[in-house]
């Protein structure tokens, strides 16, 4: 009997590992091809719901594949770039493959530096080879209110220099250049790689007859600098806590009863917890643990199930 229960627990563990790990998978939604060059990336690369504020760092990835029959020289550069208020000077950018940096190691280079760089040679790609590159944007923690309402945008061009095969990763996957997505300094960032198009704007509330923007401008005319991050979005761990308490309590209450599908309630709690997380996301969560929500979910389910088995063995 114990062996059967352990096998059942093992199968449940694997089932939930597959289920909950879906929350951490990347959906490479867009594939663009030009000659021997194939580029794959999320669309949008950066979610429009991401809340940006000074000090925030975001990393995304894209894949470059050589679908031709010979080795090619892989390059990238920025095109159709522009900004207002020198916003690009406080956005730091790095580009790397694995641990190998091609630009901005240590986040010492700004977005404007990347624009001025021109052609940047990446790794040469052999026939049939696919490489994954990571791009990171850091919004300087010292950035002040003067950057509210400012814009910075550009298109990222991936090309094979020896064949002139070229892909521009465009807004919404349409390949258009330079008409950037809108993002908000201290608020929302919609950041489609095509550019890396951070366009920062300030959400305006209803303007009174005197021309003041209510709730934004103080009497002295100073712009408030708090990040517009709802307090509840930092409580990403709360559904996990509720899931854990209810799961262990449920198992404790049924420990003396014979229930065939004893794991069904904690399983449903785990699924519900994951759905809540998918809705809320990690937008304002500064903890690096938030993206691993699915793993904590799985651990709660597994440990609570083993806890139940241990209780049953003592009865």
pLDDT of the chain along its 315 residues, tens only? Answer: 555 555 566 556 556 555 555 544 444 578 899 999 999 987 666 665 556 678 888 888 899 999 999 999 999 998 888 888 888 899 899 999 999 999 999 889 999 999 999 999 999 999 999 999 999 888 888 888 888 767 777 888 999 998 888 888 743 222 233 333 333 343 333 333 333 333 333 333 333 333 333 333 333 333 333 344 455 556 788 999 999 999 999 999 998 888 888 888 999 999 999 898 887 766 554 456 777 888 899 999 999 999 998 888 887
Residue 210 lies in a domain: no
* Assigned domain for 242 exists: yes
Structural domain that includes position 88: 35-191
pLDDT of 12 reads 62
Q: Quick check: bond before 184 cis, omega within 30?
A: no
256 is a domain residue: yes
DSSP per-residue codes, 142-175: T--GGGTT-BEEEEEEEEETTTTEEEEE-GGGS-
305 and 243 housed in the same domain? yes
CB 45 within 8 A of CB 189: no
Residues 265 and 285 in one domain: yes
Residue 168: phi and psi, rounded to 5, are -105, 120
Tell me if 29 is assigned to some domain: no
Assess if residue 163 is contained within a domain.
Answer: yes
Residue 56 is assigned to a structural domain of this protein: yes
Are the CB atoms for 152 and 87 separated by under 8 Å?
yes
My answer on whether 81 and 173 are in the same domain is yes
Task: Tell me the two tokens of residue 291.
Answer: 């993206």
What is the predicted pLDDT for the residue at 118? Answer: 92
Q: What is the pLDDT of residue 279?
A: 78
CB 104 within 8 A of CB 91: no
pLDDT confidence of residue 34: 93
Tell me, yes or no, whether 90 and 171 share the same domain.
yes
Do residues 81 and 102 both lie within one domain? Answer: yes
CATH number of the domain that residue 100 is part of: 2.60.40.3880
Q: Which long-range contacts (CB under 8 A, 24 or more apart) does 10-16 make?
A: 12/263, 12/267, 12/301, 12/305, 13/298, 13/302, 16/267, 16/270, 16/297, 16/298, 16/301, 16/302
Count of domains forming the chain = 2
Specify whether 163 is located in the same domain as 47: yes
* Domain match, 253 and 106 both: no
């Amino acid at each position: 009997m114990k062996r059967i229960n352990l096998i059942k627990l093992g199968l449940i563990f694997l089932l939930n590992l597959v289920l909950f790990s879906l929350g951490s998978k990347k959906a490479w939604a867009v594939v663009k091809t030009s000659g021997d060059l194939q580029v794959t990336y999320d669309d949008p690369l950066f979610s429009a719901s991401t809340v940006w504020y000074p000090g925030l760092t975001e990393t995304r990835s894209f894949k470059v594949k050589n679908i031709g029959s010979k080795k090619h020289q892989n390059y990238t550069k920025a095109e159709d770039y522009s900004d207002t208020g020198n916003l690009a000077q406080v956005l730091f950018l790095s580009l790397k493959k694995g641990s190998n940096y091609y630009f901005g190691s240590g986040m010492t280079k700004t977005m404007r530096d990347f624009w001025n760089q021109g052609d940047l040679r990446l790794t040469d790609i052999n026939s049939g080879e696919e490489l994954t590159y990571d791009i990171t944007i850091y919004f300087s923690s010292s950035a002040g209110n003067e950057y509210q309402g400012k814009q910075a945008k550009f298109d990222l061009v991936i090309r094979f220099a020896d064949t002139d095969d070229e892909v521009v990763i465009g807004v919404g996957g349409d390949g258009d250049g330079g008409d950037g997505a809108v993002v908000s300094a201290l608020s929302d960032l919609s950041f489609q790689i095509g550019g890396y198009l951070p366009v920062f704007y300030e959400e305006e509330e209803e303007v009174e007859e005197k021309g003041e923007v209510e709730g934004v401008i103080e009497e002295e005319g100073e712009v408030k600098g708090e990040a517009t991050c709802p307090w509840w979005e930092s409580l990403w761990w709360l559904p996990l806590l509720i899931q854990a308490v209810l799961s262990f309590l449920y198992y404790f209450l049924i420990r003396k009863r014979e229930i065939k599908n004893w794991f069904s309630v904690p399983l449903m709690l785990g699924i519900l917890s994951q759905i809540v997380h998918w809705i809320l996301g990690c937008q304002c969560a500064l903890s690096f643990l938030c993206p691993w929500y699915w793993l904590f979910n799985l651990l709660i389910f597994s440990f609570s199930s083993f806890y139940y088995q241990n209780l049953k063995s003592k009865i």
